Homo-oligomer: A and B are copies of this chain.
Amino acid sequence: MSAERRKVSADAGVNFALARLRDGEDGRPGSTSEVLRAVNDLEREVKARGVKRKTLNDLSIAEAYREVVDREGGEIAAAIEQVMLAVARSVMRGDGFEYTLPSRGATDQVYVEALDRIVLKNKTTRAAFGTVSSVRKVTILTRVMQLVHGVLSRGIHVTKRDLFYTDVKLFRDQKDSDAVLDDISCMLGCTRNSLHVVASEKGVVVGRLQYKEDGDEIDCTKMGVGGKAIPSNIDKITDMRTDAKFVLLVEKDAAFMRLAEDRFYNKYPCIIITAKGQPDVATRLFLSKVKRDLKIPVLALVDADPYGLKIISVYMQGSKNMAFDSANLTTPDIKWLGVRPSDLDKFKIPEQCRLDMSAKDIETGQHMLNEDFVKQNPEWVKEINIMLETKTKAEIQALSAYGFQYLTKVYLPLKLAEGDWI
């Protein structure tokens, strides 16, 4: 196809789409309410189904597996005191100083289909102060519990780096103090977030969402074009309210900027969230809380490549290392809105905006086909197969080939109107 002809057919496609979507009085085809019809159906479905996640108790398998829950700071401080009292009693009995720790190795991580997430087997190991191989670990565990106890007592939050620096001589490497945090979470049955040790955050939110953050009233419709930075201490967020019909989860900040500047959420009531690439823990916790508290569907806008899908999977499934915390960190049932491999032809994305997949891309794509959460969804399998057959990928930005506002004015409204998510 010549560049000229491609240009003409592309324009025709845009015009056709625009005609379908032009504004009109309420009820006329193309109005906001028309576009949102499919979204409304999905929202009702999500609300009806509820988002109460099944727990190990619901399945009566709490004995066999292990998960953690969010717990109050005061409760955790008391739990730490109990652990230390038990240790003291053991020492006085003459049984020595030891902890009983949950096993967290790869063979202890199991995907439970009924939960649709990975949990830990309920297996434990012992770490004794009197054994050469575990004396250092027990010492570090004890010191970190002491530090966490102090943090909780003062009601503040700290980073892993802060923790490391309070006793560099003992910890030596930050990896050593980081590692025991997960042990402590598992042992106390609480999320890492409950320990008030937080990771740095990079997520941003904008749109139809109001909440309280550490007492401040935050209105995300009035956050200009830059949006509100998502805090790393998620437990300071309370009282979420919305009139949004859906969450638009965006992979990249360029697309986020376009949506924020065009105030996409004014016309199509939604909450727009991005972690600017690989999702960090704070953004994952935030999304999970939004979905749990507000019970609205989550639609993902990612690049049409294996990494876009990988990002959805991190939000949905979490990482295996944090299997014990998967109920809090993950958001089930995210719909893949786009940009999907099949969109490239559907929206006539010009050849030169499509990129060849590298050998590594193809390998990652093939690996995705074996993931449990992909196998469950035949439509996802179909899309990945298209990607692998055509060996092409594309970024969200490829839509700019039709104009910078094609994303907000044409692509997304059309997708929403057609209920075109899988």
**A residues neighboring B (CB under 8 Å):** 3, 150-151, 154, 156-159, 161-169, 198, 200-202, 204, 212-218, 222-233, 236-237, 253-254, 257-258, 261-262, 276, 350, 352-353, 395, 397-401, 403-405
Contact = CB atoms under 8 A, between A and B. Distances in A.
Contact of A395 (B165, B202, B229, B253): B165
A226 B253 contact: no
Given A254-B159, A257-B157, A400-B166, A224 B198 contact: no
A159 B261 CA distance: 12
B200 A257 contact: yes
Nearest to A3: B169
A161 B397 contact: yes
Given A169-B352, A214-B224, A276 B404 contact: no
Interface of chain A: mostly helix, strand, loop or mixed: mixed
Copies in the complex: 2
Given A162-B258, A162-B397, A164-B397, 18 more contacts: A150-B404, A158-B400, A159-B254, A159-B397, A161-B395, A161-B397, A165-B353, A169-B352, A200-B257, A201-B253, A214-B224, A214-B225, A216-B224, A217-B222, A224-B237, A227-B231, A232-B257, A233-B261
Contact of A154 (B169, B353, B405): B405
Nearest to A254: B159
Given A165-B401, A166-B404, A404-B151, A228 B231 contact: no
8 contacts: A154-B405, A159-B254, A159-B397, A161-B395, A162-B258, A165-B400, A213-B225, A225-B236
A399 B352 CA distance: 53
A161 B159 CA distance: 33
Given A223-B228, A228-B223, A162 B404 contact: yes
Contact of A231 (B198, B216, B217, B224): B224
Given A161-B254, A257-B159, A261-B156, A213 B223 contact: yes
B229 A226 contact: yes
A169 B2 CA distance: 12
A232 to B, nearest CB: 6
A157 B156 CA distance: 39
Contacts of A257: 157, 159, 198, 200, 232-233
A258 B49 CA distance: 40
B200 A276 contact: yes
Contacts of A169: 3, 350, 352
Counting chain B CB atoms within 10 Å of each CB, the highest count among A202, A214, A258 belongs to: A214
Nearest to A219: B216
A1 to B, nearest CB: 12
Nearest to A253: B200
A156 B262 contact: yes
B398 A165 contact: yes
Contacts of A204: 229
Counting chain B CB atoms within 10 Å of each CB, the highest count among A3, A212, A253, A350 belongs to: A253
A278 to B, nearest CB: 14
A166 B352 CA distance: 10
Given A159-B257, A404-B151, A226 B213 contact: yes
Contacts of A164: 397
Contacts of A405: 154, 156
A158 B229 CA distance: 21
Contact of A228 (B167, B228, B237): B228
A50 to B, nearest CB: 29
A129 B226 CA distance: 40
B233 A225 contact: yes
Given A224-B213, A226-B228, A157 B201 contact: no
